[in-house]
A and B are shown apart, each in its own frame.
Chain A
Amino acid sequence: MLEIRNLKATVEKKSILNGLNLHIKPGEVHALMGPNGSGKSTLSNILSGKKGYETSGDVFYENKNLFDLEIEERAHKGLFLAFQYPLEIPGVNNNNFLKTSLNAIRKARGEKELDAIEFLKIIKQKAKDLKFEEKNLNRQLNVGFSGGEKKKNEILQMSILQPKLSILDETDSGLDIDALKIVSDGVNSLRDESKSFLIITHYQRLLNYIKPDFVHVLKNGRIIKSGNSDLAVELENKGYEGIN
């Protein structure tokens, strides 16, 4: 699904990623943990195509060079980023944004675009599954949403778009325990043998709800240790300083 080889990245001459290697196969859930400034968000930005980084190394997505694809083309091919700080877009209806997004992706894939009624049926069901308040569907996109509502909105988008590779960038930060459960349920309900996840987080807490297949520790722009979910527990006990 995703293969990262010796990825280096600098921004304004400051090097952030220093030779990162990561291989995610279909159906796998990988957790990437690391302290502040270790390069976690840089990685999610680069994978989703945000401008402003100088990179070297290779990233293959479904065996194709990811860097050849525009931001939206990556989205069309099933790469999804749940933003750490979801953006507010005034005047744009939440429902309408999601419909526009879904139809843009369907169109790019040569699938039939959904009309308003077909879409409404889907979104209402998903919102119910995720305990997402229906009134928030008709609000302006993320405008005036609480931190937790914004994150839940990201998960709602994810479950509608059904991505092949979902990258969750600190989606758990700032969530209370109920919201954390909802976010986790959203991820877990999507899990199957074809879909992969890269979950970026500070805390082991989330991993009590989403059991990862692999845990990686990112420090100073490279993965310094990989293991199974036990590694997350070890991290929680020893802290990042204790891992070598």
Chain B
Amino acid sequence: MREKEIDKLKEYKYGFTTDIENVKSPKGLSVDTIKYISKAKNEPEWMLEWRLKAYERLKQIKEPNWQKPKYPKINYQDLYYYSAPKSSQSKPKNLEDLDPKILDTYKKLGIPLDEQKRLNGIAVDAVFDSVSVATTFKDKLNEAGVIFCSISEAIQKHPELVRKYIGSVIPITDHYFATLNSAVFTDGSFVYVPEGVKCPMELSTYFRINASQTGQFERTLIIADKNSYVSYLEGCTAPMRDENQLHAANVELVALEGAEIKYSTVQNWYPGDENGKGGIYNFVTKRGLCKGDHSKISWTQVETGSAITWKYPSCILKGDNSVGEFYSIAITNNHQKADTGTKMIHIGKNTKSKIISKGISAGFADNTYRGLVDIFPKAKNAQNFTQCDSLLMGNKCGAHTIPYIKNRNSDSNIAHEATTSKISEDQLFYCQQRGLNSEEAVSLIVNGFCKEVLQQLPMEFAVEAQKLVGISLEGSVG
């Protein structure tokens, strides 16, 4: 009985597929595909030109391969770059017009789009494959002057903002996957918080990959104008499929003078089965620019899913006295692999950064923290504190810490601490003697290990994340 229960828990509960009619672009990467996407989204000419410029660049550059987790060559001509539920062709004006199957999908995921049933104080943008299907609480946000919509809608309705900021943090020439995204991105969220406004609720985007053989290339752009504040959370899941699916998102954050952006991620893409078959390749570029003085960007990530997670949410601390933070939990179990960390680029004076990374490996998994602290000559009195802790379960997994430090200023203060530990048999025994079963014991110990990071999550999501931490490690002790 107990084994059965554990088996049930071990299953990836978001692994179902929704049987829905799709509209897809022609297969493969080409000028035609890009034109198809741009046309499907009814984009202005400048946007298409921007995409094509990125595509030109893409043809000249190669995929990077310095990362620790290797993967079989991706055939970019064998992918679909755009897939949308047929019913959303003419974008539904309200929830009643939305395909009930999609509504049902989000309900199953625990993300009801019906505003009455939604947790108070959280607005959601739901992205299904390549398109945003619904955004809740729009009216309430409008009152505060906050713009929260899909990026496709923003391109049409707020072209001046999009044009000014898109690619300003991640240029189209950045690197292979970022450039690929710039050419073929499909949808994602857009946020603008006007000067002096504290966004009245948590903003959240829920990404769902449904269609097979489809890459997901979303693009998110968040702009916090002077002295504003916004907290944003993204969640992601995908069906269980034998194939590997590519998810290559770009997220750009811009914080102007005195503004603060808090960006949290709970990533639970399908990790593949216990033998390492299938799962998402999560190759994401996330970068924030502290453009103005006294601005602050804080990344918090809980990465439990994906076959391979490869990302470095970063902060460019350009404004004087700006602050960058990175709090990360990366859990890898079975055959999952992660190569993740952050880059803190100190350009302005008195800039501060803090990095807290917690890596947990179990099974045959491999987990690498890779981070860069780069202090420019003019960044007087820059400060960085880095703490990287790794926790190992069993003796077949790996943990690696690769910190790069470039210090070009003698006034700066850099501190780095790192630990590697194992969950001891005695700790487990102690918890079990107090009535916890082995899974509960692991969950408790690991949650303790991750506490400093979990505390950073918005309250509504902290509980979810704690459960997720436990579930991701089910079956990791024998």
Contacts and interface: CB of A to CB of B under 8 A. Distances in A.
A144 interface: no
- Which applies to chain B's interface (DSSP): helix, strand, loop or mixed? helix
B449 A72 contact: no
B429 interface: yes
Contact of A92 (B424, B425, B448): B448
Interface in A125-166: 140-141, 157, 161
Contacts of A51: 425, 429
Contact of A49 (B432, B448, B451, B452): B432
B213 to A, nearest CB: 42
Nearest to A90: B448
B449 A75 contact: no
A105 interface: yes
A72 B445 contact: no
A100 B429 contact: no
Interface stretch (B151-159, B228-236, B366-374, B436-444): B436-444
Contacts of A76: 435
B392 to A, nearest CB: 15
Given A72-B435, A104-B435, A90 B430 contact: no
B448 A71 contact: no
B42 interface: no
Contacts of A83: 430, 433
Contacts of B451: 91-92
B426 interface: yes
Q: Which of B427, B429, B450 has the most CB of A within 10 A?
A: B429
A131 to B, nearest CB: 22
Interface string B309-326: 000000000000000000
A89 interface: yes
B406 interface: no
B426 A97 contact: no
B59 interface: no
A92 B445 contact: yes
A109 B416 CA distance: 47
Contacts of B4: none
A87 B432 contact: no
B444 A71 contact: no
Nearest to B429: A50
Contact of B426 (A70, A80, A87): A87
Contacts, number: 74
B426 A108 contact: no
B430 A86 contact: yes
Contacts of A70: 432, 437
Interface string B356-383: 0000000000000000000000000000
Contacts of A97: 434, 444
B105 interface: no
A105 B435 contact: yes
Given A87-B426, A87-B427, A87-B430, A108 B448 contact: no
Nearest to B454: A91
A71 B433 contact: yes
B444 A157 contact: no
A205 to B, nearest CB: 26
Contacts of B447: 91-92
Contact of A101 (B429, B435, B445, B450): B435
A48 interface: yes
A75 B444 contact: no
Given A50-B429, A71-B429, A104-B440, A91 B448 contact: yes
A81 interface: yes
Interface in A175-202: none
Nearest to B423: A89
Interface in A88-123: 89-92, 97, 100-102, 104-105, 108
A72 B436 contact: yes
A72 B432 contact: yes
A91 B449 contact: yes
B426 A75 contact: no
B434 A89 contact: no
Contacts of A74: 433
Contacts of A72: 432-433, 435-438
Contact of A100 (B427, B444, B450, B452): B444
A76 B433 CA distance: 9
B449 A90 contact: yes
A128 B372 CA distance: 50
Nearest to A85: B426
A159 B437 CA distance: 21
Interface in B147-198: none
B448 A101 contact: no
A50 B427 CA distance: 11
A71 B436 CA distance: 9
A13 to B, nearest CB: 20
A50 B432 CA distance: 10
A89 B436 contact: no
Interface in A46-89: 48-51, 70-72, 74-76, 80-81, 83, 86-87, 89
A24 B242 CA distance: 58
Interface string B90-126: 0000000000000000000000000000000000000
A87 B434 CA distance: 12
Nearest to B448: A91
B347 to A, nearest CB: 34
A157 B448 contact: no
Nearest to A79: B433
A157 B434 contact: yes
A50 B449 CA distance: 24
Chain A CB within 10 A, most for which of B429, B433, B450: B433
B437 A89 contact: no
A49 B427 CA distance: 14
Contacts of B445: 89, 92
A74 B434 CA distance: 9
Given A104-B435, A104-B440, 9 more contacts: A49-B433, A83-B430, A83-B433, A89-B445, A91-B452, A101-B434, A102-B435, A140-B448, A161-B435
12 contacts: A48-B433, A51-B429, A72-B436, A75-B434, A75-B435, A83-B430, A89-B448, A91-B450, A92-B447, A104-B436, A105-B434, A157-B434
Interface of B: 424-427, 429-438, 440, 444-445, 447-452
* A-B pairs, 3 with minimum CB distance: A91-B448, A92-B448, A101-B434
